[in-house]
Amino acid sequence: MAAEEIHRASTHAPVNIAVIKYWGKRDPKLNLPTNGSISVTLSQDDLRSHTTASCAPSFTGDSLTLNGQAEDISGARTQACLRELRQLRREVEAQDSHAPKLADMKLKIVSENNFPTAAGLASSAAGFAALVRAIAFLYQLPTSPTDLSRIARQGSGSACRSLQGGYVAWNKGEKDDGSDSVAYEVAPASHWPDMRALILVASSDKKDVGSTAGMQQTVASSTLFQHRANEVVPKRMHAMEKAIHDRDFEAFAALSTKDSNNFHACCLDTDPPIFYLNDTSRAAIRLCEMINSRHDRSVCAYTFDAGPNAVVYYLANDEEAVAGYFKALVGDKPGWEGKRGQAIQAAQK
């Protein structure tokens, strides 16, 4: 008896770190945001999800294994991604009678992150982006990164920004069906190749308030947030795109740090308040401020997601000024050692 043919495709997707933050949904089901966002894609050599998707007639159920552990994929978000991808495959099969009927087969998805999933390093973004692209490759879909970003967004909002390299924006969109809430490339990584990111893991504990729940609490209770979504971010989106196009690090740094602080101020303005930063985070902020003040210019820019870990952006020429100080801090201070003091230097390519 001939061996059964297993159809298989693999891909990887990088972590992205926002410099204009996504926080708040106007439609939680479709993951439509209240404001646009912009991120920098980190090098896949440093932080990425690698995913293989396969299907065969004998597979009995859809399954996902993440870092060797079986994951529940019955949630509405994963199901929305699988449904959309299968629908697109059915369209391919309807147009080509010789195309194998993959959409009817069950999927086996195996994913590995090369960084600690629990460390709060945007693992859902890289994870959903890799999952969606692996299945799109398996199904040989004629989809663009923008089409795929619309699907990945439904898995996790920030995932839509991990399907392209370099500098990526997520357009808030205006339509209720989410068809225009997609990611686009502001500039390729090669446009500003000397950008660097230093990631300081201040804690790899699971966060107290998850992003999905936290942002909904903020939307429901923060008045500061209304100002952020309607006034602050729309202006910053344009200014950040210009800073990236102009390779203007001074403007990039000012906008990144201000946006991180504005986002965390909205978290504090939430009822009950959400605290993502800790003493280590605040020490990193003070160190950046000190480095910039000593040089009398913006040498480094800090940003924090929904957790205490700092991401510090700087240019390659300033490697010594920034990494030197942070390495000293990591090495010297109790609380930055071992798991809590792990520093990953990720060169953005």
**Smallest Cα–Cα separation from 216: which of 261, 157, 171, 176?**
157
By beta-carbon proximity to ligand 2P0, the closer residue of 124 and 143 is 124
d(CA 267, CA 271) in angstroms, rounded, equals 9
Determine which residue in the list 11, 35, 37, 203 makes contact with ligand 2P0, applying CB under 6 A: 37
Question: How many amino acids of this chain bind ligand 2P0 (CB under 6 A)?
Answer: 14
Q: How many CB atoms lie under 10 A from the CB of residue 204?
A: 17
Closest CB 144 distance from ligand 2P0, rounded Å:
21
Closest CB 337 distance from ligand 2P0, rounded Å:
26
- β-pairing verdict for 48-56 and 106-113: antiparallel
d(CA 8, CA 53) in angstroms, rounded, equals 6
Should residue 21 be labelled a site residue for ligand 2P0 when binding is judged by CB under 6 A? yes
By beta-carbon proximity to ligand 2P0, the closer residue of 34 and 54 is 34
Determine contact, residues 242/189, Cβ cutoff 8 Å: no
Contact pattern from residue 127 through residue 166 relative to ligand 2P0, giving x for each residue in contact according to CB under 6 A and a dash for the rest: -----------------------------xxx--------
Residue with tokens 């619309």: 150
3-class state of residue 65 by DSSP: strand
Should residue 35 be labelled a site residue for ligand 2P0 when binding is judged by CB under 6 A? no
d(CA 264, CA 303) in angstroms, rounded, equals 10
Contact pattern from residue 199 through residue 238 relative to ligand 2P0, giving x for each residue in contact according to CB under 6 A and a dash for the rest: ------------xx--------------------------
d(CA 81, CA 76) in angstroms, rounded, equals 9
Closest-by-Cβ residue to ligand 2P0 is 157
Largest CA distance in the chain: 75
By beta-carbon proximity to ligand 2P0, the closer residue of 197 and 299 is 197
Residue with tokens 């965390």: 264
Binding region for ligand 2P0 (CB under 6 A) out of 19-27, 79-87, 241-249, 308-316: 19-27
By beta-carbon proximity to ligand 2P0, the closer residue of 23 and 225 is 23
Could you give the C-alpha distances from 254 to 2, 90, 260, 277, 302, in angstroms and in order?
Answer: 63, 48, 10, 19, 9
Q: What are phi and psi of 23, to 5 degrees?
A: -160, 105
By beta-carbon proximity to ligand 2P0, the closer residue of 259 and 318 is 259
Q: Restricting to residues 286-325, name those near ligand 2P0 by CB under 6 A.
A: 305-306
By beta-carbon proximity to ligand 2P0, the closer residue of 304 and 325 is 304
Binding region for ligand 2P0 (CB under 6 A) out of 20-28, 107-115, 191-199, 247-255: 20-28
Determine contact, residues 73/64, Cβ cutoff 8 Å: yes
Should residue 18 be labelled a site residue for ligand 2P0 when binding is judged by CB under 6 A? yes
**Smallest Cα–Cα separation from 47: which of 167, 155, 110, 127?**
127
Determine which residue in the list 11, 54, 111, 124 makes contact with ligand 2P0, applying CB under 6 A: 124
Q: How many CB atoms lie under 10 A from the CB of residue 144?
A: 11
Determine which residue in the list 23, 192, 249, 302 makes contact with ligand 2P0, applying CB under 6 A: 23
By beta-carbon proximity to ligand 2P0, the closer residue of 34 and 211 is 211
Closest CB 321 distance from ligand 2P0, rounded Å:
27
3-class state of residue 347 by DSSP: strand
By beta-carbon proximity to ligand 2P0, the closer residue of 210 and 331 is 210
DSSP state, 122?
S
Q: What are phi and psi of 270, to 5 degrees?
A: -80, 150
- The contact set with ligand 2P0 (CB under 6 A) reads 18, 21-23, 31, 37, 124, 156-158, 211-212, 305-306
